[in-house]
């Protein structure tokens, strides 16, 4: 693979660098627009002057993409900051539009409301933003209905503890900047008798979901079927998510390129046996593309589906023109398309995992698949399935460790067993969605999907329970990920690439990573005293070298995995440190083996410097 043969890879690199620079270092400004336009015009002029200007045209195109990316990144950050600056504490209420059907929670229902009009003492005002609401209304909220909600929503709180999941940032990427706990404090306006086109489109996925509910009786199978076919993951329970995550098969539950590829293969299957003329074939391929994008719309236009749909679309358009298309150029072009439409997608875990998986398949799979060529078609199918799974896992495991701190040990056998079953379930599910309204056929295909997914769940849970199913509490830095990916790149390009350059780059990264690790260990204090506080309690932790002890008189135990444990993972501290033994000395509590004293009434430590995280309490200062 020669980098010069894939121009869109270079374009993607400069566009991505520009987005990072604009998002992290610059404020939103029309300066980026002006510079981008000027560099684009200069590129067009130099390109039109002839071949002797091709070098200048290439440089100017890279400058244009970098500045354009910086503009997109800065604009994306500005849009988030402008919403965060609005305070709605003084409003009396608002009228909003329900964006989805209710999601059932243990004690309430969750939904997302788009604010349309605000009311305060001065009257009505137009405003656009989204609110995450929890209500206990007897009548469920359904998509596209209008509601009146009294009171004011509150902003999403920032993360209080180091390395805690940034829930505020997670919701902000979805355009949600407020939340509100309603109880039954809302009024639902009646639906109009005449539905608009948008309402019909919104109701169509709900009807398909109801069709699945009526024909798939086993609850575990039903929730998997809705995730597999429609991208509805709201009904997935925690145990199911953990089982698939710990076996490396979580991608089955997220509508992705695998699902789009299955539909694409099914739609193209008739062309193997039916020879069409040029014009009929083009019309049929256009119909296939229409169905692919319709499926993308039904599943909510997730990033992985858009990536797969755009790649298949470009591949099909190339086939119409009888031109061989490069998979790497399609991969890069689809990424550029998504980043131009939504620059914030660059920071989303789903985007990173999706494109890393496809890059791994394109780069690694050709090397693995030729290591053995089975004579049996069945063995060849499972061998190709195994090489694709290994390729995707090798490319994505650094991201999995970085974000989720775990690695599934049995991902290969799990995928070899689960993917064929999910393929069968999806084929049966598609037929169920098409002909399920016909008496008898819905029962047949629904029963088929019901028991296939039941068996799939049993296999997944069995693998999850095997000894050593997951390696947990793993950590890796960004530079560490670069070292791993560069090492994979060296192996993939060893035969055709510049070996000296590849090895030099790899060793430079390894040296930089090693120096960084050494500096962190040198700066790491030999002892560390940490206090975690919330409105409901306090937890004290002390670390001496590799040993950690904890004293927890009141910190809620159900919050420890989300608030305290991410910090422990980053500091390489065990999940359940031993309890800290204290000695009562007069009015103070003394920590054995140290001169540190603790005032239990004021939660004040003496003779030691303590890190404090969480809610500030005056009595602790």
Quote the percentage of the chain above a pLDDT of 70. Answer: 83
pLDDT digits (tens, 9 = 90+) for 195-231: 454 555 556 777 888 889 899 989 989 999 988 888 7
The boundaries of the domain holding residue 314 are 198-345+419-472
Half-sphere exposure of 454 (CA within 13 A, CB side): 10
Cut 0.95: pTM above it: no
Is there a domain that residue 353 lies in? no
User: Do residues 315 and 459 share a domain?
Assistant: yes
Q: What radius of gyration do the chain's Cα atoms show? A: 28
Is there a domain that residue 377 lies in? no
Q: What string of DSSP letters covers 486-543?
A: HHHHHHHTTTTS-HHHHHHHHHHHHHHHHHHHHHHHHHS-SEEEEEEEETTEEEEEEE
pLDDT digits (tens, 9 = 90+) for 58-86: 777 787 788 888 888 888 777 776 666 57
- pLDDT number for residue 452: 94
User: Do residues 562 and 602 share a domain?
Assistant: yes
Please give the average per-residue pLDDT across 612-620, as a whole number: 59
Please give the average per-residue pLDDT across 266-283, as a whole number: 76
CATH of the domain at 170: 2.40.50
Overall number of domains in the chain: 5
Is there a domain that residue 254 lies in? yes
User: Do residues 297 and 332 share a domain?
Assistant: yes
- pLDDT number for residue 593: 61
Is there a domain that residue 559 lies in? yes
User: Do residues 321 and 233 share a domain?
Assistant: yes
User: Do residues 173 and 239 share a domain?
Assistant: no
User: Do residues 179 and 213 share a domain?
Assistant: no
Q: What angle do CA 399, 225, 212 make, to 5 degrees?
A: 150
User: Do residues 319 and 451 share a domain?
Assistant: yes
- The domain boundary, picked from 489, 505, 523, lies at 523
pLDDT digits (tens, 9 = 90+) for 560-602: 888 889 988 888 888 888 887 766 555 556 666 665 666 555 5
- pLDDT number for residue 620: 46
pLDDT digits (tens, 9 = 90+) for 462-519: 999 999 889 988 988 888 898 888 888 888 877 766 777 878 888 888 888 888 888 8
Is there a domain that residue 368 lies in? no
E strand spans, 92-156: 93-98, 103-104, 109-120, 123-135, 146-150, 154-155
User: Do residues 230 and 118 share a domain?
Assistant: no
Assigned token pair, 75: 């604009």
pLDDT band, very low/low/confident/very high, at 621 (cuts 50, 70, 90)? very low
User: Do residues 212 and 329 share a domain?
Assistant: yes
Please give the average per-residue pLDDT across 16-34, as a whole number: 72
Arithmetic mean of pLDDT over the chain: 80
Is there a domain that residue 331 lies in? yes
User: Do residues 20 and 155 share a domain?
Assistant: no
User: Do residues 97 and 243 share a domain?
Assistant: no
Assigned token pair, 279: 């014009």
Is there a domain that residue 19 lies in? yes
User: Do residues 252 and 219 share a domain?
Assistant: yes
């Amino acid at each position: 693979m020669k980098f010069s043969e894939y121009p869109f890879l270079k374009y993607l690199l400069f566009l991505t660098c520009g987005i990072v620079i604009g998002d992290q270092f610059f404020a939103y400004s029309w300066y980026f627009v002006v510079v981008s336009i000027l560099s684009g015009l200069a590129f067009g002029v130099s390109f039109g002057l002839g071949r002797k200007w091709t070098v200048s045209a290439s440089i100017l195109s890279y400058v244009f993409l970098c500045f354009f990316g910086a503009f997109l990144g800065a604009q994306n950050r500005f849009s988030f900051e402008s919403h965060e600056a609005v305070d709605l504490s003084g409003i009396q209420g608002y009228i909003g539009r329900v964006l989805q059907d209710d999601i059932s929670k243990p004690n309430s229902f969750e939904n997302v409301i788009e604010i349309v009009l605000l009311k305060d003492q001065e009257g009505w005002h137009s405003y656009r933003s989204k609110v995450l609401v929890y209500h206990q209304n007897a009548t469920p909220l359904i998509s596209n209905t209008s509601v009146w909600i009294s009171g004011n929503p509150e902003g999403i709180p920032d993360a209080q503890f180091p390395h805690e999941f940034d829930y505020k940032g997670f919701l902000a990427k979805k355009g949600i900047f407020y939340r509100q706990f309603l109880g039954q404090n809302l009024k639902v306006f009646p639906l109009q008798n005449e539905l608009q086109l948008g309402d019909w489109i919104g109701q169509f996925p709900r009807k398909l979901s109801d069709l699945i509910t009526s024909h798939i009786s086993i609850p575990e199978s039903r929730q998997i079927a809705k995730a597999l076919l429609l991208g509805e993951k709201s009904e997935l329970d925690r145990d199911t998510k953990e089982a698939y995550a710990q076996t490396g098969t979580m991608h089955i539950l997220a509508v992705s390129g695998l699902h789009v590829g299955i539909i694409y293969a099914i739609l193209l299957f008739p062309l193997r046996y039916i020879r069409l003329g040029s014009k009929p074939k083009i019309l049929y391929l256009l119909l296939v593309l229409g169905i692919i994008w319709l499926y993308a719309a039904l599943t909510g236009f997730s990033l992985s589906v858009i990536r797969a749909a755009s790649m298949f679309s470009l591949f099909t358009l190339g086939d119409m023109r009888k031109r061989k298309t490069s998979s790497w150029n399609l991969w890069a072009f689809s990424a550029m398309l998504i980043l131009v439409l939504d620059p914030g997608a660059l920071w989303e875990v789903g985007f990173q995992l999706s494109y890393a998986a496809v890059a791994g398949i394109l780069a690694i799979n050709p090397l693995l698949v030729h290591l053995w060529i089975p004579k049996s078609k069945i063995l060849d199918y499972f061998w190709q399935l195994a090489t694709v799974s290994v390729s995707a896992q090798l490319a994505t495991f650094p991201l999995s460790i970085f974000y989720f701190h775990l690695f599934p040990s049995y991902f290969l056998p799990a995928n070899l067993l689960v993917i064929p079953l999910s393929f069968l379930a999806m084929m049966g599910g598609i037929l169920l969605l098409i002909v399920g309204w016909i008496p008898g056929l819905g029962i047949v295909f629904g029963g088929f999907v019901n028991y296939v997914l039941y068996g799939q769940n049993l296999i997944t849970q069995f693998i999850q329970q095997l000894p050593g199913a997951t390696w947990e509490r793993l950590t890796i830095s960004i530079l560490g990920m670069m070292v791993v990916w560069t090492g994979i790149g060296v192996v993939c390009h060893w035969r055709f690439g510049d070996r000296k350059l590849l090895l030099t780059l790899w060793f430079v990264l390894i040296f930089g990573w090693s120096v960084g690790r050494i500096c962190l260990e040198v700066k790491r204090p030999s002892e560390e005293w940490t206090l975690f506080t919330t409105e409901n309690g306090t937890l004290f932790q002390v670390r001496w070298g590799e040993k950690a002890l904890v004293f927890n008189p009141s910190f809620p135990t159900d919050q420890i995995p989300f608030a305290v444990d991410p910090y422990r993972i980053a500091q390489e501290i065990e999940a359940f440190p031993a309890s800290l033994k204290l000695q009562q000395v007069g009015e103070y509590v003394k920590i054995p083996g140290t001169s540190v004293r603790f005032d239990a009434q004021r939660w004040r430590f003496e003779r030691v410097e303590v890190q404090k995280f969480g809610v500030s309490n005056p009595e602790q200062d």
